Chains A and B, each alone.
Chain A
Amino acid sequence: MTAARPSPRALHRLAAAAGAVLIGAGLSAAIAAPAAAEAGVGYVRLAHLSPDTPPVDVYVDDLGGKMKGLKFDAVPYGVMSDYLSVPPGTYAVSMRKVGADPKSKPVLTESVTVTEGSAHTVAGTGRFAELGLSVIDDDITAPPSGEAKIRVLQASVRSPVLDIRTKGGQEVGTGLKFATTSDYRGVKPGNWTLDLTPQSGTAAEATCTLAGGTTYSLLVLDGKNGLTTDLKVDAKAGEITPQGGVETGAGGTSDGGTIALVTGLGLVALAGVVGVGAVGLRRRARRTW
């Protein structure tokens, strides 16, 4: 009866395979210093700010073909979307009549180039007769500490020029014209009432809460009964941001540095021994059997 002994050839193969695996492991342990991968994203959001234009279907298409196209149905006047994160590249934003064939010629189309860390608002602006798609660059840098930042997207055609200041007198914007965007201004954080004073027509008072470290866009809109407003966050950080790194390790697996190198070289050496052993085994095998 023959015992189930591994054949010499199988032993040889096993030894060679073990050697190869060890060489692989040794090398990777010695080299494994993960490279930093910094691709990142940019941001786009969409808005319908044309008071006399009916709702539109909005499309976002990646001209580079990396991202699947998106469609937002029946977006009415006064609406601004949340931000969409996208890989850096160039995107086409198009507006079509509600329910129009996606292959039909859009009412409007505009391209927007997004770089890592940039943010843009693509908005349908102006009266319907001269409707255009504007690419508005959003400032996402944090305001100075202890401040908030705010700007105005003026989309009221019934109050085509207006001033905005907080009760207490901080100016938010003056002479703001329909279909324009004001520069960002620093304001003190807190609960505010904003006086919206048009050159003609009824004034409005908007209550809002502005948080420190946050950048805002205030939409000024024609509402059902006169002026109305909506507030959007352009960028936000925590109220108190940490400084520097974090101590998140006690060293129990510290094989990233010298130890890894030693271990790695050790494994390579071991692999060499096993490899030599395999050769020896083969030689001996020839001699004996």
Chain B
Amino acid sequence: MPARRSTALGLTLTALTLCAAAGTSLGLAAGEASAPPPAARWHVGCGVACAQPVEAEVIDPLAALPPPSEVRIPRVAIRSSLVGLDLDSKGELEAPVDYAKAGWYEQGTLPGEPGPAVIAGHVDSYRGPAVFYRLRELRPGDTVEVRRGDTWLPFRVVATGHYPKDKFPTTRVYGATPGSELRLITCGGEFDRSRRSYRDNVVVYAVDARLPEVPRTSKGHGPTEW
């Protein structure tokens, strides 16, 4: 036990320092919430060095980029600025008010970060085709690009899905993913005139088309030469 060994080295009288918060005290240190007035204490565990403060924060290389502003899919001539989308009172994703514009789910994943970023657009308006009318034509291998600031982030279509809205696979579409992914959603299938709603949703699944980053620097300290 480190505490006992330190005791053997000789108890160190220290003023109350950060070390008290470091944890290996003999039960003398009070809780952090009610810090006692500065006083000399018997305190062990910091004889040689206190616990080394280190960082363990996830690094997001795209953190400096603004939220997404535009989507384009050259092969099917789709290009639209992006409006922000929220959830309705039922917890379902709202569709853009403007039939000519696609939207992204603002409380979800930012495109380019790990997770499934969600972009939705109408297939048609009351009069005719809308922004995602040709989304159904997308096939694996097609490229979708999302703009953040001056950077166009490329995604590669890997699958498409066609689901009745009452059997929408919420976890598959919105669930956690290891890499940065994209979900493009519109309507499809038969139009139910009595409910003024399409029966199905068309979902296009795309993944990050960039090569994965290998960090240039390491926190580890190992040999550098063979």
Q: Does B188 sit at the interface, judged by CB under 8 A?
A: yes
Residues of B191-211 contacting chain A, CB below 8 A: 191, 193, 196-198, 201-202, 205, 207-208, 211
Asked if A249 and B198 make an inter-chain contact with CB atoms under 8 angstroms apart, the answer reads yes
Q: Does A104 sit at the interface, judged by CB under 8 A?
A: no
A117 to B150, CA, bound (A): 31
Asked if B124 and A141 make an inter-chain contact with CB atoms under 8 angstroms apart, the answer reads no
Asked if A81 and B213 make an inter-chain contact with CB atoms under 8 angstroms apart, the answer reads yes
Knowing A241-B170, A253-B129, A253-B133, the reply to whether A79 touches B57 (Cβ < 8 A) is no
A41, A77, A209, A235: most-surrounded residue (chain B CB, <10 A): A41
Query: What 1/0 flags go to B153-174 for Cβ under 8 Å of A?
Result: 0000011111101001011001
Residues of A186-235 contacting chain B, CB below 8 A: 194-197, 200, 202-209, 213-216, 218, 221-235
**Contacting residues, chain B, for A247 (C-beta < 8 A):** 92, 95, 187, 197-198
B interface with A by C-beta (< 8 Å): 2, 22-24, 45, 48-49, 51-58, 87, 90-95, 99, 105, 107-109, 113-116, 118, 120-130, 132-133, 136, 139-140, 158-163, 165, 168, 170-171, 174-179, 185-191, 193, 196-198, 201-202, 205, 207-208, 211-215, 218-226
B45: min CB distance to chain A, Å: 8
Asked if B186 and A248 make an inter-chain contact with CB atoms under 8 angstroms apart, the answer reads yes
**Contacting residues, chain A, for B202 (C-beta < 8 A):** 34
Q: Does A84 sit at the interface, judged by CB under 8 A?
A: yes
Asked if A43 and B162 make an inter-chain contact with CB atoms under 8 angstroms apart, the answer reads no
B137: min CB distance to chain A, Å: 9
Asked if A243 and B91 make an inter-chain contact with CB atoms under 8 angstroms apart, the answer reads yes
Asked if A206 and B222 make an inter-chain contact with CB atoms under 8 angstroms apart, the answer reads no
Asked if A250 and B122 make an inter-chain contact with CB atoms under 8 angstroms apart, the answer reads yes
Asked if A221 and B220 make an inter-chain contact with CB atoms under 8 angstroms apart, the answer reads yes
Knowing A39-B158, A235-B176, the reply to whether A222 touches B132 (Cβ < 8 A) is no
Asked if A257 and B197 make an inter-chain contact with CB atoms under 8 angstroms apart, the answer reads no
26 A-B pairs whose Cβ atoms sit less than 8 Å apart in the complex? A35-B162, A45-B212, A81-B215, A83-B114, A202-B48, A203-B22, A203-B24, A203-B52, A208-B55, A208-B56, A223-B219, A225-B52, A229-B56, A230-B56, A237-B174, A241-B170, A243-B170, A244-B91, A244-B170, A245-B165, A245-B201, A246-B185, A247-B198, A252-B124, A252-B125, A253-B124
A137: min CB distance to chain B, Å: 12
Knowing A78-B221, A207-B57, A213-B176, the reply to whether A37 touches B139 (Cβ < 8 A) is yes
Asked if B187 and A249 make an inter-chain contact with CB atoms under 8 angstroms apart, the answer reads yes
Query: What 1/0 flags go to A27-47 for Cβ under 8 Å of B?
Result: 000000111111111010110
Asked if B190 and A257 make an inter-chain contact with CB atoms under 8 angstroms apart, the answer reads yes
Asked if B53 and A204 make an inter-chain contact with CB atoms under 8 angstroms apart, the answer reads yes
The 5 closest A-B pairs by CB, nearest first: A78-B220, A77-B222, A257-B190, A254-B191, A238-B108
Residues of A31-86 contacting chain B, CB below 8 A: 33-41, 43, 45-46, 50-55, 70, 72, 75-85
**Contacting residues, chain B, for A235 (C-beta < 8 A):** 114-115, 176-178
B143: min CB distance to chain A, Å: 14
Q: Does A258 sit at the interface, judged by CB under 8 A?
A: yes
**Contacting residues, chain B, for A142 (C-beta < 8 A):** 171, 175-176
Knowing A235-B114, A242-B92, A249-B123, the reply to whether A207 touches B58 (Cβ < 8 A) is no
A74: min CB distance to chain B, Å: 9
14 additional A-B residue pairs with CB within 8 Å, beyond A79-B215, A202-B49, A246-B201 = A40-B205, A45-B178, A45-B212, A77-B220, A85-B208, A138-B178, A141-B176, A155-B220, A242-B92, A249-B187, A250-B99, A250-B196, A256-B198, A257-B191
Knowing A79-B214, A250-B126, the reply to whether A194 touches B90 (Cβ < 8 A) is no
Q: Does A251 sit at the interface, judged by CB under 8 A?
A: yes
Q: Does A183 sit at the interface, judged by CB under 8 A?
A: no
A227 to B55, CA, bound (A): 11
A42 to B113, CA, bound (A): 17
Q: Does A236 sit at the interface, judged by CB under 8 A?
A: yes
A195 to B2, CA, bound (A): 14
**Contacting residues, chain B, for A257 (C-beta < 8 A):** 189-191
**Contacting residues, chain A, for B213 (C-beta < 8 A):** 81-82
